[in-house]
Structures are given as C-alpha cells and as structure tokens.
Structure 1
Amino acid sequence: MFYPLTILDFLDRAVSVFPDRTAVLDEPQAAGAWEPITYRELAQRARSLAASLDELGLPEGARVAVLSQNSARLLAALYGVSAFGRVLVPVNFRLTAAEVAYIVEHSGAEVLFVDPSLREVAAEVGCRHTFVLGEDDEHLWSNPAEPRPWAGDEGATATINYTSGTTARPKGVQLTHRNLWLNAVTFGWHLGVDESEVYLHTLPMFHANGWGMPYAITGFGGLHVVLRQVDGAEILRRVEEHGVTLMCAAPAVLAAVVEAARLWQGPVPGRNRVRVVVAGAPPPTRLIERIRDELGWEFIQIYGLTETSPFLTMSRMRDEWADLSGQEQARRLGRAGAPAIGVRVAIAEDGEVVVASNHNLDAYWRNPEETARAQEGGVFHTGDGGALSDGYLTIQDRKKDVIVTGGENVSSIEVEDVLAGHPAVREAAVIGIPDEKWGELVTALVVCSADVSEAELIAHCRERLAGYKTPKRIEFRSELARTATGKLQKFKLREDFWGGRTRQVN
C-alpha cells in the first residue's frame, strides 16, 4: 500500500493530537499581528486561504508568491498554499523591487502576498492579484467555504525557492512534498524535536522554508514564537519570556546574541536548555566557544543548500569528545558534520562535494540546462570544495563564485555587473573576505578610468542592489589578475585577504 508523503501530514497530526494547544505567538510589534492561535485555528486559517485561492480560480500547480518578514500569516501560508496542491514561492524580503519582479515573473506567480512594510516594493511588481497582509486579506483567513480536495502527490512541487548562484539571475529551486517531508522528519529526528519544543523563528521562513523547522515543530505540536527582526538583546528576552528551547540561525545572528549577553542583567537565559543550530557559513572556533561557555547553549552545526532542502550533515557534541579541551571540542564542532541518515556524501576527483539524498531538488524551474549540470551522474553537485575525514565533512573552499554574508548568498557576478555600469569603472572583481561579524564581507576590487570615490561607488550599488549585496568595502587597483584568455583569477585576488588560512570560506 502506498500513501503519499505531503506537508499536510504535519498539520493534520497537530490538529488531531494537540487541537487546543497554542500553536503560534505572532510578532507583537507587527501591524495587524494575530492574537495567539491554537493548532485547530491554524489549520482552519490554512483551509480558509486554500478556499479563497479556489475562488480566485487558481488551479493545482499554480504559483503563489509571498514577500514578508517572519509572521504567523507566512507560517499559515506554508500550509494554505502547498498543502492543497499549489506551489508557494517564498521571496527574500530584502530584495529590491526589480529583483522581486523578476522572481514573480519567472515563477509565473498569479498571486502576491506582501507585508505592509513592503507595500512600495510590491507597487512596482506586476502580478495578477496582490494582497497586503493584514489589510486586504481579511476574507482570506476567514473564508467559511471548504477548499477543493487535493488527492496528494509526493512528487508534486510544493515550493520554489529562489537562490543566488553563479549567475546574475537567481535560480528557482523546485522542492517536492517528498523532499520537504523527508528533510523535516530527518532533521527533526537528528535534533531530537519533541512535544515540549518552544521554537524561536530567528531564521527567516523564506530561507529554504525555514530549513524545514516550521513543518517539524508543527508535527510535534511545538510552540512557534515568531521573531520579525533579528536583535541580540531581543532574542535573549524572548528566550527568557517564552522558555525557548530551539532556534536556527546564521553565525552573525549568534555573534549578536553573544555581544548582547555581555550587557544582560542577571543570569543569561536558556543555559543548559537552548539548542542552537548554525548554518550558512562555518563560524569561527572562538564564536563556538563563546556560545557554549558564555551562553551555556548547545551548539549544533549543519551543512546544506536550498537545493538539498537543506539538511545534509550535522556536527554535534559526542560522548567520545568529553575528555577533550573546550577549544578542541569547538574545533570539531566547526566542521560541516557527519552525513544525516539517508544522505550520501562524496568528494569528486576535482574536490567538489557531491551528494545523493531524498532531499535533493527535483529541478531548477524553467532551467533544464542548469538542472542537467547540477544533477550530472545522478548526484547533486554542490559547487563547494571539501574533504572527508573520520566520517566528517569539512568545507574547504567554494567552487561556485558565491559569497555567503550573514547567512545570505550573494552572486559576485551580479554585483560586478552593477559596478561595471558606473561610467568610471573599467573592471571590477567582487570577492568575499573574512569578517568576524558577517562571516564574509562583500568586497569589490576595481580598476577605474576616471576619478571616483569609494562612497560614490557604494551609493551607486545601493540604488540597484539589496543592502546585503552592496559592497561594504572597495579597493582601487591598477590591474586585476587574469588568465591568458582574460578570465579573472579570483583565487589570486583572495590571497591577500585569506593568506594563512586552511580554507577559503569563513
């Protein structure tokens, strides 16, 4: 007997076992925030959204885009869209209007939900139906009609998540219900998620669907605590107020928490209770030590990509390391980790990390050439260079030309294109350099044909790029290292900044 795996399974179990348990505490500072709702109410609002999309005439497989910071509505949309046969397109709320417009057009989204704070961005984006969350959507969450039944197909696309890569245009990653189901269950199992979990959404839900935690926490009836804007002191306050047990974050977020803890009055909350999962960039060993020593939180690192749903490997404290020094334990925890159950990791002849997993993407949306390249040989080519030792993966360099800053991917080619559009710039190379706060700092090396200041070039980029993509540092050069055929040799450009380091990511 075959029963399809769909993300509705997680919500169905929560409603069946924990119908009257509080499911979501929305961000209290947000305009139009929801009052605390139970799992019964969360399920009803998801069904109302599905029924409203029925009334708009959206068929199965239709794409629905959401541009929003973390919110209870975004959490409900994960189910109200995908669990009833349509495809959710979560959009990075930090993008510019032009970038959002490209994603909406490329995905073919017929509906765009937008947070009130991003109304001006949405005004520049053409979409058949646009709703401002909390203002135009009252009927969406209280529709009394029953949604059209969906038979369920685990091979159907559940979400399309756009990610920056080696090209200036982002790629749409098609993740199926099976991908998301197995990722959430495997990740939740490795983390030991249980019915007493209090999960703080420090990670943007748009980011690989919150790494699958919105599904795993729901399936166990845990409490979702929504955080709209990352702030170290505010994270500590939420941990204390709500008894948070688990969160996921980029290293820059945890660095902010560690710094806030220095000014915290009284014992740091969550000691010996909070588990924090880090990914996006390998954190410095010293930061790992501080999280464990100064916060008293358990540090866990995972490695993955949007294309892998994302969970591939985990590095977590082991009994065998108990007698090692704290620094050595932190060094080992700084590795990408051991493969998760059902994940096969290998190193190709050229040093690239390749993976086989039920979490791997179905395809890149409307991009068969890139799909074939990434899945050549029946494995997913990560674009990262790495090594395996004692069953653990270490990421050593990045084959694909992507900068990871604050947990966000930045395409260097995209930034170079913008810089090249300035009349004073003759050549530009964009690289990531080590930075304690952000992991990597977006840095531009430019050759100019006329006088121009660093501030002018940064302002030029800021007008055309999302803030996190804008170079934070610009250095002027007389020439850039190139091959005989004119190709930039970025490994040479990085040497001045990465000298003495064993790996070319931070």
Structure 2
Amino acid sequence: MNINENNNESAFETDLDKNQANYAALTPITFIQRAASVYPNRTATVHGDTRYSWSETYTRCKRLASALHEYGVKPGEAVSILAPNLPEHFEAHFGVPMCGAVLNSINIRLDAEAVAFILQHAESKVLITDKEFSDVVKVALTLVENKPLVIDIDDPYWQHGELIGDLTYEAFLQKGDEDFTPYSVKDEWNAITLNYTSGTTGDPKGVVYHHRGAYLNAISNAISWGMEQHPVYLWTLPMFHCNGWCFPWGIAAMAGVNVCLRHVRADHIFNLIKQEKVGYFCGAPIVLNMLNSADDDLKTGIEHQVNVMTAGAAPPASVISGMEALGFNVTHVYGLTETYGPSVICAWHDEWNDKPLDEKARLKSRQGVRAPMLDGLMVADPTTMEPVPQDGETMGEIFMRGNLVMKGYLKNPDTTHAAFEGGWFHSGDLAVWHPDGYVEIKDRSKDIIISGGENISSIEVEDVLYRHPMIQEAAVVAKSNEKWGETPCAFVALKDLDREVTAQEIIAFCREHMAHFKTPKDIIFGPLPKTSTGKIQKYLLRDRANYSDEQDS
C-alpha cells in the first residue's frame, strides 16, 4: 500500500496545530530585522564615501515602507524601480515588501517603449528612478495611461541626467516614520517581487516571486557557495536581474557588506576588490571574459581569496580556467528568471582538486546538480516526460520543480499552464545527464543545429572557438543550407583588431579540435549584439546569417 493512501491522522497530527508560538511565514524581511538587531553597527552598504550600517539601513527601509503606505500604496500593488546597483536599490528590496507591496525592478538597459509596457502591465503606483535614466523615463511616462508617482534618486556621485520626479528619494524618506511597523506577512505564498523576462520574441513576461521562494533561494545561495559570515559582496550582477539572484536578501541574512557599483568596468571591479577586500561577486561569462582580458597591472595586488559565481550562457572552460589562473575560485550555477536565478549548482568534489587546470575547468563548466533548496531536477524527453539515460550523450530538456520555481506569469494563465505542464517547470534548455548525476546544457531548444540529420550543439562549437588565442567572443547559430538543411555559422569578435585572422584559419583550428561535420562553414567577424543582461542575441545573428546567405545567392 502506498503510504500516502493512508488517510488516518496519527497522534502527531491531532491537536498539534500551527500557532504564533510555533509557526511563522517565511519572508526575507526577517533577515534585515535580525542583521539590524544583532549587528547594528556593522557596515551594510558602501557607495563611494557613503556607508550605512545595518541599523541605519533598516531605519531607511522602514521610512521607505512608511512613506509608501502613507502615499496610499496598498498590499499587493506594484512599486517599480529603475536604478543601478545603489544603496537605494538595495533598500527597495526590503522597504517595498515591508509595506506589503510588490517590488518591480526594471532592467536599466530597456528602451522607453519597453519600460512603458512594464509600468502599464504591472500597474505600478510608484516609480523610483535614477537620474541617469531620465531621458528614457520621460518618454516612457508619456506612453503610460496612469502615471505613477515618480521619485528621483539624486546620487551625489553621478552628475549627469536631470531630476524629473515629484520629489527626491531622500525627501520621500523624510515623509516616513522610522518607527513604522513592517507589514506582517501572513501567507508566504504572497508575491514579493515581479521580474520581466527579456522579451526577445515578443512582449516580456512578468515573472512573480513569492516570499517563501525568495527566502529559501537566498539561503540556498549562501549554503551552496559556502559563504562565510559577514561576506563582502561586490554588486557586479544587476539587482534588476532576478532580484540580483536573491543576493540582496542573502547578504542581509549573512549580515554582510554590499559594495555598490554603478557601472561594470574592469578597473572599477579590480580596484574595489582590493580597496574593500571583496570576497564575493557574481557575473555572466561576458564579465569574466572582460576581467580576463584586462590589463595585467589591474590584476596585481589581490592578496585574498575572491569567489566568483557565474551563470548565463554556458561559460566556456577557457573563461573559467582564465579566472582560476588569476587565483579566483569560480562556482558555476544555472537557473532562469522563473527559478529565482540560480537553482542548479556545479557542486565541487574534493577528489577533483588534483586534476589539471583544464580538466577542472571542464568539470566546472557543467551546470551541475540541484541547489540545496530545489526539490526536483531532471533531464527528460519533453514529449513523454520520461527521464533520459544518465549517459552523458542522450539529449533532453531540463525540468525543475519545487519552492524555487515562480508563482507564474502575471496576467498570463495560458503561458503559466504550459510552463508547468506535467507538474514540472519546462526550462526550454537542452542538456545531457552525466553518470554522476550532473547536468550539462548543450543548447536552448531553439538554438540546436540539425545538419544532415545530426544534432550539433552550438555551445560545443563555441567552446572550441573560445580556445583560439585571438577570439574574444563567439556565438554559433544555424544557417540554412540546401544540401545539409542547416550548417553552423560562427560570429566572432577578436581580441586584437590590428592582427589579421582569416576565416580559413579559424575553420582549420576548429577542424583540429572537433568532428569535421560540427565545424563552422562560415565565419563572420565583428561585435556581437547582446541583450540588456549581457546575453548574446542569437536570434539576431540567425537573421544576419541567413540574410547574408540570401544576399550572396
């Protein structure tokens, strides 16, 4: 008999009910309350010469929550923010949900039309915006039917842009009560944030997070990364991206230091690592590649351990080995906006420590296993939902389930239902499952190249291209071919534009390192188009590859 079929309640379930003494809804708001109580004088945020303690930060968050409440923002309504990684952005991750509202952190690289769509779709009551983006916001507001209250962040370290709002952030805080009692979260399923996907194939989708998932992924990140108490964390990863992978809440849980960064530049990153003794930062592979390629004089003088968490497009092993050669310890994670950011981690094994650097980098380039707080992970046939063999060869789609999966898509029930069909979240990423249980992505379902009936992983080809000493960036897409159906077409950006490299040289290099049928038939040189989160826009490259083919014919 299935144990779940026994409906008789045991003595353990009789007259032992939830009450205030033994149960509280999980919410990351409690993290900042504890940090301010236990470590009131420890530094919470650093921005230039401005430093706020945990006690000061908590007070500012309470003032923000109080001011929003007094303005009339009700529980369940959206408050948007368009800002770099500043203290105000960090505070919004607590102050907004502390009044019961839902934080909508908007991608700072979007155009006015996209920003307007988000404000309209989210029905935002308030927009907190940094003056760097005043030109975009001014246009966006003309496209919104119900204009939100606009609050300006007037950063003293940024002199460009203009103030366009009803009042400044600091003036708004002064309207709030520092003794405000934060909203009591009764149901951890309540929404805490709203994040929009990049929308490369249409309008972006609004991904809704709940308090429970935010709490658990913040803890999951800290555990899986082995974060020490009071970590010094550099904000290279945008807070608008999956709420900074839940690290605003995670750093509060660890009572750490948030080192703010307006612009992601190699000199700023290396200088802050040395100046603030940064021990942790996150970034897409493109950021790691930028650091690898930085001038050698910037890299000197780092005498402490620096831990890097990377995700996004699968990082080539050469990028990881480059960072490790600098002495940085790289942890590779995987996730989507729909899974609160990282939900899969390439957990390290001690027996791998003695392997050669290239082999360690190859192991680390795999996506890995489920994170501590993810309930289920599998690679399965997308049609039958049957798990594929763990042979490292059979391709399937990655599926996840559990507390680290979104509530769903805002105002989009059909798409939500499709994403959860079969009781699992459908990632759309194609991968193999290795005998040790580790998942390795081979492609997005739409990016796989089918040539002469053979599947070619664009990621595998890109990994070979990145090994070429002259290639800075690479992306491979399918190009229509009358004989083979599709063939790989490579777009590459070179490290040194003054040194000539021919397409024939690159093709010959690839033929030396991989099966010939996988080798790109075409090489196109030039900068690669990227999304606002640094991902290469392959759909544009596919158009270019096939358009150039039409022009040539």
TM-score for both structures, normalised by structure 1: 0.79
Give matches, 1:480-495, under 5 Å: none
State the partner residue of 1:396: 442
Q: Could you say which residue in structure 1 is the equivalent of 2:453?
A: none
Q: For 1:103-502, list aligned pairs within 5 A.
A: 103-126=118-141, 127-134=147-154, 136-145=168-177, 146-147=179-180, 149-152=182-185, 153-165=187-199, 167-264=201-298, 267-271=300-304, 273-293=305-325, 295-343=326-374, 344-350=376-382, 351-389=396-434, 390-400=436-446, 434=462, 436=466, 437=472, 440=475, 474-475=544-545, 476-477=547-548, 479=550
String of CA shifts for 1:255-287, please: whole Å, max 9, x gaps: 11112252437x34155x111000011111111
State the 1:43 CA deviation. 0.5
Bigger Cα Rg: 2
Alignment deviations for residues 477-496 of structure 1 (CA, whole Å, 9 cap, x no partner): 4549xxxxxxxxxxxxxxxx
Q: Tell me: CA distance 1:61–1:147, structure 2 relative to 1, closer, same or farther (3 Å).
A: farther
Does 2:94 match 1:79? Answer: yes
Q: Distance in 2 between matches of 1:233 and 1:139?
A: 33
Using the TM superposition, give the Cα deviation of residue 179 of structure 1 relative to its aligned residue in structure 2, in angstroms: 0.8
Residue 62 in 1 paired to residue 73 in 2?
no
Structure 1 residues 149 and 210: CA distance shift in structure 2, 3 A: closer
**2:106 — aligned with what?**
91
Q: Label 1:442 to 1:162 Cα distance change in 2 as closer, same or farther (>3 A).
A: farther
- The Cα shift of 1:7 comes to 1.6
Cα offsets for 1:398-448 (capped at 9, x unmatched): 02569xxxxxxxxxxxxxxxxxxxxxxxxxxxx999485556489999xxx
2:380 and 2:121 map into 1 onto residues whose CA distance is 32
Distance 1:467 1:371 in 2: 23
Render the CA deviation track for 1:124-150: whole Å, top value 9, x for unaligned: 223221111126222222335244642
| Cα gap change, 1:393 to 1:13, in 2 (>3 Å) | same
Q: How big is the shift at 1:228? A: 1.0
Q: State the one-letter code of the partner of 1:133.
A: I
Once the two structures are aligned, what percentage of the paired residues are identical? 33
Greater alpha carbon shift after TM alignment, 127-136 vs 301-310: 127-136
8 Å Cα contact 1:291/1:299 also seen in 2 = yes
Cα–Cα, structure 1 residues 443 and 400, in superposed 2: closer, same or farther, change >3 Å? closer
Q: Distance in 2 between matches of 1:2 and 1:373?
A: 34
Give the Cα separation in 2 of the matches to 1:124 and 1:95. 12
CA gap of 1:238–1:54, structure 2 versus 1, over 3 A, is same
Question: In the alignment, is the contact (CA less than 8 A) between 1:251 and 1:281 conserved in 2?
Answer: yes
Aligned mates of 2:181, 2:478 — CA distance in 1: 50
1:13 aligned partner, one-letter code = R
Task: Using CA pairs under 8 Å that are at least 6 residues apart, name the structure with larger relative contact order, 1 or 2.
Answer: 1
Equivalent residue of 1:359, what SS? coil
Contact 2:218 / 2:246 at 8 angstroms: preserved in 1?
yes
Residue 24 (str. 1) matches residue 39 (str. 2): no
Cα separation, 1, equivalents of 2:409 and 2:339: 12
Give the distance between the partners of 2:99 and 2:479, measured in 1 at CA: 45
Conservation of the 8 A alpha-carbon contact between 2:64 and 2:176 = no
- 1:41 equivalent to 2:30? Answer no
1:241-262 residue CA offsets vs partner (Å, 9 max, x unmatched): 0101000000111111112252
Question: Could you tell me how far apart the structure 2 residues matched to 1:151 and 1:264 are?
Answer: 47
**Residue 83 of structure 1: SS of its match in structure 2?**
helix
State the Cα RMSD in Å: 2.6
Contact 1:6 1:83 in 2 (8 A): no
Amino acid at match of 2:152: V
Q: Distance in 1 between matches of 2:117 and 2:127?
A: 13
Return the TM-score normalized by structure 2: 0.72
Using the alignment, how far apart are the partners of 1:23 and 1:443 within structure 2? Answer: 47
CA separation of 1:438/1:103 partners in 2, compared to 1, >3 Å: closer, same or farther?
farther
Contact persistence 1:199–1:223 (CA under 8 A): yes
Match of 1:3 among 24, 27, 31: 24
Greater displacement, 348-357 / 387-396: 348-357
| Paired amino acid for 2:153 | L
Decide whether aligned partners of structure 1 residues 195 and 341 sit closer, same or farther in structure 2, where only a CA change above 3 A counts. Answer: closer
* CA positional deviation for 1:86: 0.5
Moved over 6 A (4+): 441-445, 465-470
Q: Secondary structure at the match of 1:353?
A: strand
For structure 1, the 5+ residue unaligned runs are: 29-33, 403-430, 446-461, 481-506
Contact 1:54–1:148, Cα closer than 8 Å, also in 2: no
Q: Which amino acid aligns with 1:202?
A: T
Give CA deviations for 1:39-92 in whole Å, capped at 9, x if unaligned.
Answer: 111011111111111121111111011011111100001101023310000000
How much does 1:317 deviate?
3.5
Aligned residues: 425
Is the 2:207–2:410 contact (alpha carbons within 8 Å) kept by the matching residues of 1?
Answer: yes
Alpha-carbon distance in structure 1 between the residues aligned to 2:345 and 2:124: 35
Whether the aligned pair in 2 keeps the contact of 1:62 and 1:86 (CA below 8 Å) is yes
Conserved? CA contact 1:61–1:87, under 8 Å: yes
Q: How far off is 1:151 after superposition? A: 2.1
Are 1:119 and 1:132, in contact at CA under 8 Å, matched by a contact in 2? Answer: no
1:385: how far off? 0.8
